[in-house]
Amino acid sequence: MPLRPEAGEEATCDRVSDGEGGGLRSDAERHAVFRNILGATLALELGHGLQRGIFNNFVVEVVGIQPSQLGLVQGIREVPGLLTAPLAMVSGFFRENTWAGICLILTAAGIFMHTVALNFPLLVVATLVMSTGFHLFYPVQSSIVIKTCLPEERATKVGQMNSAGAAGSLISVGIVIAISKYWKTDYAFLHTMDAAFTALGGVSILRKAMGNKPSGRASMDLNPRYMSYYVLTFLGGSRRHITQTFAGYLLVEVYKTPVSVMVLLSAISSVVAIITRPLVGKVIDKWGEQKSLVLNYVFVISLFTAYGFVKLPVILFLVFVLDHGLMGFDAAITTYLGRIAPKESLAAAYAMGSTVNHVSGVSVPVLGGFLWDAFGPGVVFAGGAALAAVSLIYSRSLDRRDAALANT
């Protein structure tokens, strides 16, 4: 593939200089930074997972909000995602690990603010602060991971990172179940504990300086050369949002799946993610992004077809778990940008990708909801299968577009 590094470059391209290798000059330094970002991700997903697990009960039992207010809060929660690219411009004044730590501490502050969010306006403020923090964290997380690995192990490392996140989510599910079963729920204590876990992740990533030296200027990167990345991000985000919004709703609304089964399915999905994310990463590193994405979308078409037309709940439970397992192939989109973009541009480019992803995050659930009301769930998942088919066709020509890009 024309944009892959030459064999002689692989040993040094990720640790030569501050600009090219994020300031990492040895394997020991790279591994130390990777362990720190791994621990920070685990802490974030643990703390944020706990917050998500108690959110619905908290807003009903403590805040007492109405359904319309709940919808507004969830919409506000996604606003920082749409604004990730312009908000991330300030990151140019910090090293990447410093910016990542600030983002996690901001997330922790938003979670802690829930301890005093006893009415709707304060809940909105707490949600906005928390959401801003974690939405700004993920692009710089991707940039740090890509810079701390060699080209031939990028997807494997991204898979390990996603596995750590799934482990944090699984632990949070276990904690929520244990607390709800054996202790009286104290929301102030739980939010304080959630915030402490997240802040601990922020402190851990501050320990090891890395990344480009601060440029001292704000920048936003909407580069036409990365158009394939933006398209793949939008299509992949659309597929993810269909699953996250409507797959669980289908099982509960249409097939009356009880909450105990849904919790079990979520736990199984997390276990599958922990196991499969690194394995999927190895597949991507071996096959490349194009073949991996094509294989992924072949399966996704089949899964969305099953959601729409299979009527056996047991089969749909299996589809639900497999669907969440296949999301690990999104790592190919992350590593694709890591391969074609210069390292000093990665953080800004990933931030722009987050904004593109949230365009689908806002539009796809709304459109899908209208289609569900008008035509039923079959049309929603048929639309998902059609999107996956478009993604497959686009992915098949990825190498050819890369070759054309390399010659410009």
Full set of structural domains in the chain with CATH: 23-220 (1.20.1250.20), 223-408 (1.20.1250.20)
When mean pLDDT is compared across 219-223, 228-232, 307-311, 312-316, the lowest value belongs to 219-223
Mean pLDDT of 306-319: 95
What is the model's pLDDT at position 33? 82
Q: Is the pLDDT of residue 12 over 60?
A: no
What is the model's pLDDT at position 4? 34
Burial label for 146, CB within 10 Å (0-12, 13-18, 19+), is buried
| Identity of the amino acid at 287 | W
DSSP H or E segment with residue 269 = helix 259-287
What is the model's pLDDT at position 211? 56
Higher model confidence: residue 404 or residue 338? 338
Residue 84: which of 213, 205, 196, 220 has the closest Cα?
A: 220
Mean pLDDT of 240-256: 88
What is the model's pLDDT at position 217? 55
Q: Which tokens hold the place of 285?
A: 């590193």
Q: What is the pTM of this model?
A: 0.77
Higher model confidence: residue 360 or residue 71? 360
3-state secondary structure of 344: helix
Q: Is the pLDDT of residue 13 over 60?
A: no
Q: Is the pLDDT of residue 258 over 60?
A: yes
Q: Is the Cα torsion angle 178, 266, 187, 64 positive or negative in sign?
A: negative
* Average pLDDT value over all residues in the chain: 84
What is the model's pLDDT at position 90? 78
Q: Is the pLDDT of residue 296 over 90?
A: yes
When mean pLDDT is compared across 54-58, 187-191, 195-199, the lowest value belongs to 54-58
- State percent of the chain over pLDDT 70: 88
Contact call for residues 34 and 145 (beta carbons, < 8 A): yes
Mean pLDDT of 40-45: 92
Separation between Cα atoms, residue 137 and residue 212, nearest integer Å: 16
Separation between Cα atoms, residue 381 and residue 387, nearest integer Å: 10
Contact call for residues 211 and 95 (beta carbons, < 8 A): yes
Q: Is the pLDDT of residue 16 over 80?
A: no
Write the DSSP string, 226-241: GHHHHHHHHHHHHHHH
- Rounded to 5°, the CA angle 201-207-212 comes to 105
Residue 296: which of 389, 386, 381, 378 has the closest Cα?
A: 389
Report phi then psi at 96, rounded to 5.
-65, -40
Residue 32: which of 204, 254, 234, 230 has the closest Cα?
A: 204
Separation between Cα atoms, residue 251 and residue 267, nearest integer Å: 16
Map 128-161 to HEC letters. HHHHHHHHHHHHHHHHHHHHCCCHHHHHHHHHHH
Binned at pLDDT 50, 70 and 90, residue 401 comes out as: confident
Best-predicted range by mean pLDDT (25-39, 84-98, 330-344): 330-344
Over residues 109-146, the pLDDT tens digits come to: 999 999 999 999 999 999 999 999 999 999 888 888 88
C-alpha distances (whole Å) from 25 to each of 96, 145, 231 are 16, 15, 34
